[in-house]
Amino acid sequence: MTKEEVHIIRDSDPALSYKGACLYYDETPFSGIVKGTFAYQEFETGLPHNRHIRLHPNGEVALLARYFTGKPTMHYEFSATGELNPATYIAYNTFPDYSLHNVKNAQHPGFFQGELGRLEYEKEVFTGVKVGNYAYWEYSVGLLDELHVEFHQNGELAKVGKYDMAEKQWEVNFYDNGELVNTGKTKA
């Protein structure tokens, strides 16, 4: 998905509706991002696809899930203190970079910027997901890669962007009232 293809819709938009398990926007299966209070979800042709992220009001991650054309591939739920609830952990076909040992809290003292500006965790170049502080980051070999999502403290989406090995592909920003700051082709 490029910036020109990004469609971001608020979950309360009256044009959104479900027909069975499929999400529609104005009678068309929806492809894009649905934003809600402390929530970010991706859809493709009406079905959950890729990441679903939900935070607790204190900025800690509540849910990390991934889907592939409507089928779950992983599901983690966390307490408000950032601890995994083991009863809710489901790994259907977990992507290696998103295995549980690669999901790290941003508050952990093991994070630091290493050589060449790469993020390190406990003296190793970090590959995985860093969560907390009202944000979600994906890293590969210490570089911001793929998705970066930030929320305002009131739960509104603040920023969403896609990266390719630290090179920004696109980014969309929102004010704390949910209004768009800059855009490609987006609906917010």
* Domain chopping of the chain, boundaries: 3-173
71-111 tens-digit pLDDT = 888 888 888 887 877 777 665 544 444 555 556 666 677 77
Residue-wise pLDDT tens digits, 13-42 = 999 999 999 999 999 999 999 999 999 999
Task: Provide, rounded to the nearest whole percent, the portion of the chain with pLDDT above 70.
Answer: 84
CB atoms within 10 A of CB 21: 9
| The predicted structure's pLDDT at residue 122 | 82
Separation of alpha carbons 30 and 153, rounded Å: 28
Whether the per-residue pLDDT at 188 is higher than 60: the answer is no
pLDDT at 41: 97
| Percent above pLDDT 90 for the chain | 44
Tell me the residue ranges of DSSP E strands in the chain.
8-10, 16-19, 22-25, 28-29, 32-36, 39-44, 47-55, 61-68, 71-77, 90-91, 103-105, 111-113, 119-121, 124-125, 128-132, 135-140, 143-151, 157-164, 167-173
pLDDT tens, position by position, 148-170: 999 999 999 999 999 998 899 98
The mean of the pLDDT values for the chain is: 84
Q: Is the pLDDT of residue 116 over 80?
A: no
- Measure CA of the first residue to CA of the last residue in the chain; give whole Å: 17
Q: In the prediction, which pLDDT does 119 show? A: 85
The residue type at 57: P
Say what the pLDDT of residue 161 is.
92
